[in-house]
Amino acid sequence: MTELINRILSGMSPTMPLTRLLITILIMVVSAAIVLAVSLLYEGFATYAERKVAGDIQARIGPNRVGPYGLLQFVADGVKLLLKEDIIPFYADRWLFIIAPYIVFTVSFAAFVPLSYSDHVSIANLNVGVLYMIAISSVVSMAILMGAWGSNNKWSLFGGMRAVAQIVSYEIPIVLSLLAAIIIPASLSMRDIIAYQSGGLGIFRWLVFNNPFTLIAFFVYFIAAIAEVNRTPFDIPEAESEIVAGYHTEYTGMRFAFFFMAEYGDMFVVSAIAATLFLGGWQIPFIGGIPMPVWLREVLQVGVFFTKVFLLIYVMMWIRWTLPRLRVDQLMELCWKYLTPIALFNLIGASVWVLLLHDRGVYDIIARVFTR
Amino acid sequence: MAGYFKKMYHSISTVLTGLGITIKYGINPKTEVTQQYPEVKREPPEGFRGKLFVDINICTGCTACARICPVDAITLKTVRDENKKLRPVLFDIDNARCIYCGLCVEACPVDNCLYFEKKYEFSAYSKEDLISHFGLGEVKPAESKTEDKKTEAGKEGKEAAQ
């Protein structure tokens, strides 16, 4: 993104600072609009996919009435939500109640920014990309508590407190397991991490196969990530059989839709982090070494990246429609007694591996034995 | 400590078993059991109580059905025709009132005269449209006046009973 701006600005005369500023802002707005459009479209199709996957698993068909194969179901749902009455409870804290869904949605949307979709396609190649992602996804817990408190409803408040307890707890195994992967490429930039994973047929240099500790870290991260985005079996913040709908009990219409879309946006974000850090991001498997035109390579890379992310999202949906909800104490037990110690010992193991073998993974060692 | 790992193994293995079962359904589209109702209609089972139907030509006009109906869904009016046979000129069944108890079908003395069809889609926009008319309409009445008196007397008796 910054490269693009610099390239456009370098062709202009440097004597017009105002025009340069305007063009920079214009490019920013356009790219933000593109990301917003793509993410909204993805969220629409994700709700459709969720219902279809649920139908498949429960031996049903799922939505198939609106449009071909029911593909336009999300449009119908969106129109329905737009036309619903916007209710704000009389005793609600209006300011907090109104602002909470926007913060939740903005935060999940902002997390799309540092992702590297292909070698050259990314909104911003931050040198602290992973840190930014972890930091920005933690803000969700604050916004959820704002909405929960602002609703002035006991179920909302319980849901919000549960959500905060859960998200704050599961941040720890997430960060510890991500660290086990980050210490190998020794960079926080999404693009650098993916670029590190090139070679090995585009598969065997993935960080998940780098050493046994990153393999464990991947599974710890994935379990904790499902809990981080409040999905079944860790959906106690919105457990409908216990607390109606949790923190969004009092929300209707588009305000509810913002919470709903943020959930699917968060799913994409955690899956994208998993794909970037562990599964080689946009590295094209098998045919990556063949020379091909730049545009084809970029398209293939974007396709590969989205395929990996969508496969992980499918696994999340698969898990959702398989497992029942955990109790609150079971949830905390899983986090503090199992995932956190495992991630901690795993991080020590990964650090020792890096200390002894530097960044050589299992594949590098085997390849070295054979080439000698 | 052994219990710790045992518990971990147990939870992972049970989760994987469950995931294995659901993915069998998830990737195999042939497991769908849903019938697409308006397009595919299931054949109603034996003894299905759908819409009531009267074969008016073999109806003897005995009014047994109208008398046994617990919700007065059947309105019946009979007239003696020229062969001195009782004929139902008016035979209305109010489907909005009918509770599908089947008492009228049991009471009917003629085989295959009053029975339930396997038809179950007959919603209408107004209550009046739900009344099905089976009556013969006008029948040439009998020449004998005594028969007329009898029916009138029967009618009066019925009205008095009500």
Q: In sequence order, what DSSP letters do the residues of A137-156 get, joined into one string?
A: HHHHHHHHHHHHHHHT-HHH
d(CA A190, CA A125): 7
Alpha-carbon dihedral B142, B147, B151, B156, rounded to 10 degrees = 130
pLDDT in tens, A69-102: 888 888 888 888 888 888 888 888 888 888 888 8
| Greatest Cα pair distance in chain A | 76
pLDDT of residue A12: 63
pLDDT of residue A348: 92
d(CA B136, CA B88): 6
Asked whether A232 and A319 are in contact (CB, 8 A), the reply is yes
d(CA A186, CA A196): 10
CB contact under 8 A, A59 and B29: no
Q: Kindly report the average pLDDT of chain B as a whole number.
A: 80
The pLDDT of residue A10 is above 80: no
Q: Which residue of B has its CA nearest to A314?
A: B26
- The dihedrals phi and psi of B159, each to the nearest 5 degrees, come to -65, -40
Residue type, A296: L
d(CA A236, CA A326): 7
Q: Shortest Cα distance from B42 to chain A (angstroms)?
A: 17
Tokens 């047929």, located at residue:
A201
pTM summary value: 0.79
The pLDDT of residue A6 is above 70: no
Q: Which letter does DSSP use for residue A91 in this model? A: T
The partner residue sitting opposite A60, judged by closest CB among B18, B23, B32, is B32
B57 to B54, B112, B136: CA distances (angstroms): 9, 11, 8
Q: Which letter does DSSP use for residue A335 in this model? A: I
How many CA atoms lie within 13 Å of B70's alpha carbon, on the beta-carbon side? 6
Q: Shortest Cα distance from A63 to chain B (angstroms)?
A: 11
Asked whether A265 and A284 are in contact (CB, 8 A), the reply is no
The partner residue sitting opposite A61, judged by closest CB among B15, B18, B32, is B32
Give the three-state DSSP class for A290: coil
Q: What is the ipTM of this complex?
A: 0.72
B80 to B62, B141, B153, B159: CA distances (angstroms): 12, 6, 13, 19
CB contact under 8 A, A53 and B8: no
pLDDT of residue A184: 86
Q: Shortest Cα distance from B119 to chain A (angstroms)?
A: 26
d(CA A359, CA A185): 7
pLDDT of residue A15: 63
Residues above pLDDT 90, as percent of chain B? 4
| CA gyration radius, chain A | 22
Q: Kindly report the average pLDDT of chain A as a whole number.
A: 84
pLDDT in tens, B105-114: 888 888 888 8
The pLDDT of residue A335 is above 60: yes
Q: Shortest Cα distance from B43 to chain A (angstroms)?
A: 20
**Segment A249-271 mean pLDDT:** 85
pLDDT in tens, A298-307: 888 888 889 9
Asked whether A245 and A238 are in contact (CB, 8 A), the reply is yes
Chain B CB contacts of A323 under 8 Å are 15, 18
Give the three-state DSSP class for B133: strand
Asked whether A111 and A136 are in contact (CB, 8 A), the reply is yes
d(CA A216, CA A340): 12
pLDDT of residue A9: 66
The pLDDT of residue B9 is above 50: yes
pLDDT in tens, B46-80: 888 888 888 888 888 888 888 898 998 888 888 88
Instruction: Give the confidence band of B148 by pLDDT, cuts at 50, 70, 90.
Output: very low
Instruction: Give the confidence band of B153 by pLDDT, cuts at 50, 70, 90.
Output: very low
**Segment A326-339 mean pLDDT:** 87
The partner residue sitting opposite B22, judged by closest CB among A60, A318, A337, is A318
Q: Shortest Cα distance from A334 to chain B (angstroms)?
A: 10
CB contact under 8 A, A322 and B8: no
Chain A CB contacts of B26 under 8 Å are 53, 56-57, 318, 321
First to last CA, chain A: 43
Residue type, B161: A
d(CA B99, CA A253): 41
Identify from B12, B25, B30, B40 which residue to disrupt to test chain A contact, counting A C-beta atoms within 10 A and taking the largest count: B25
SS3 content of chain B, % helix, strand, coil (to 5): 40, 15, 45
The partner residue sitting opposite B26, judged by closest CB among A318, A323, A337, is A318
The partner residue sitting opposite B26, judged by closest CB among A53, A337, A338, is A53
CB contact under 8 A, B32 and A338: no
**Segment B131-154 mean pLDDT:** 61
CB contact under 8 A, A322 and B19: yes
d(CA A325, CA A241): 10
Asked whether A155 and A319 are in contact (CB, 8 A), the reply is no
The partner residue sitting opposite A59, judged by closest CB among B23, B27, B31, is B31
Q: How many contacts (CB atoms, under 8 Å) link A and B? A: 40
Interface of A with B (CB under 8 A): 53, 55-61, 318-319, 321-323, 337-338
Chain B CB contacts of A61 under 8 Å are 32, 34, 36
> Which of B104, B105, B97 is CA-nearest to residue B130?
B97
**Segment A341-349 mean pLDDT:** 90
CB contact under 8 A, B22 and A61: no
CB contact under 8 A, A57 and B26: yes
